[in-house]
Amino acid sequence: MPAPNPAAYVHNPHTWTDPLGLAPECPGTSELTRASEAAYRAADNIANWTPKNIHLSDFPEIAARKAKFDTSLVDPRQVVAEALRSPNANFLPNHLEGTYKVNVEMGYTVRTRGQTGVRVIFSDDDRVINAFPVNVN
């Protein structure tokens, strides 16, 4: 059975070949590449993510000290999808197998206290686990 896209271009043809198109991914694919690809897939599936109430300004009585998206200014799903696709994404270790963490400076206010950064925790199975505003310095 051939690879899903046997005509796809390999990452680096000078270091890896798969003439029969049987390998699921090229050997030596970096963790950063896997995280970036997972981020794009998670962004494509953003409709399946429900923001936690503790991170929405619509629920001020819940966990008042938690970082909250200002829902009068932004749609959290749209912000998170944009963050996951951002060229400014800063991928960080998440210390849980199969998950990644990314911080992104969005360049506009996303939080009730004026923060402009977002942290997104997502998995390699195409889903956002959590997201909330942060200070990105």
Note the residue count of the chain: 137
- Residue 15 pLDDT grade (very low, low, confident, very high; cuts 50, 70, 90): low
Residue 74 clears pLDDT 80, i.e. is over it: yes
Q: Is 101 within 8 Å of 120 (Cβ atoms)?
A: yes
Terminal C-alpha separation, the chain: 48
Cα dihedral sign, 98-124-31-91: negative
- pTM attached to this predicted model: 0.74
Distance from C-alpha of 36 to C-alpha of 128, rounded to nearest angstrom: 13
Domain spans in the chain, listed from the N-terminal domain onward: 32-134
